[in-house]
């Protein structure tokens, strides 16, 4: 599942894709002016708003703005409302580790270990999971 904007602030920007192709709804981060697919423990700066070919410019993406709500996939673990989350791998989040930057926190409903999606509120400046 890709990330889906549920509410709150949103701002569209133009980006250049890095070495790997990306799909609409993929979370990505900036690296040397390019966007790269987010992976376990990385930050997330944007969500792709269209499919992107590698090493190509002028694609649309949505900035992750504090206070916005996004629906995303979760790893199989229990997370209660208010729990900070970090990237667990391609497109999904989990409770993270102490070294992972927290990108959001669970809102609206607790996440059971059998759930596949969660709604998260994007936090401000990323800080490590406590």
Q: What is the pLDDT of residues 39-74, one digit of tens each?
A: 999 999 999 999 999 999 999 999 999 999 999 999
Task: Check residue 128 and give its pLDDT.
Answer: 61
Residue 126 clears pLDDT 90, i.e. is over it: no
Cβ-contact 92, 37 below 8 angstroms? no
Q: Tokens 């580790």 belong to which residue?
A: 97
Instruction: Supply the pLDDT for residue 91.
Output: 86
Query: Tokens 């969660």 — which residue?
Result: 118
Q: Report d(CA 48, CA 17) in Å as an integer.
A: 10
How far is CA 83 from each of CA 15, 99, 102, 123, rounded to the nearest angstrom?
Answer: 30, 16, 10, 12
Domain ranges of the chain: 9-63, 69-128
What is the per-residue pLDDT across 67-112, written as a single tens digit (0 to 9) for each?
Answer: 999 999 998 889 999 999 999 987 899 999 888 999 999 999 999 9
């Amino acid at each position: 599942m890709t990330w889906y904007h549920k509410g709150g602030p949103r701002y569209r920007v133009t980006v250049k894709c890095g070495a790997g192709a990306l799909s609409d709804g993929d979370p990505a981060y900036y690296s040397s002016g390019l966007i790269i697919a987010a992976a376990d423990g990385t930050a997330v700066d944007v969500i792709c708003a269209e499919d992107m070919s590698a090493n190509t410019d002028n694609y649309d993406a949505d900035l992750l703005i504090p206070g916005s709500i996004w629906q995303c996939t979760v790893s199989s673990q229990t997370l209660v409302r208010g729990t900070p989350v970090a990237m667990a791998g391609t497109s999904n989040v989990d409770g993270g580790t102490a070294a992972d930057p927290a990108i959001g926190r669970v809102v609206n409903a607790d996440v059971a270990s059998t759930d596949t999606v969660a709604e998260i509120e994007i936090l401000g400046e990323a800080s490590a999971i406590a």
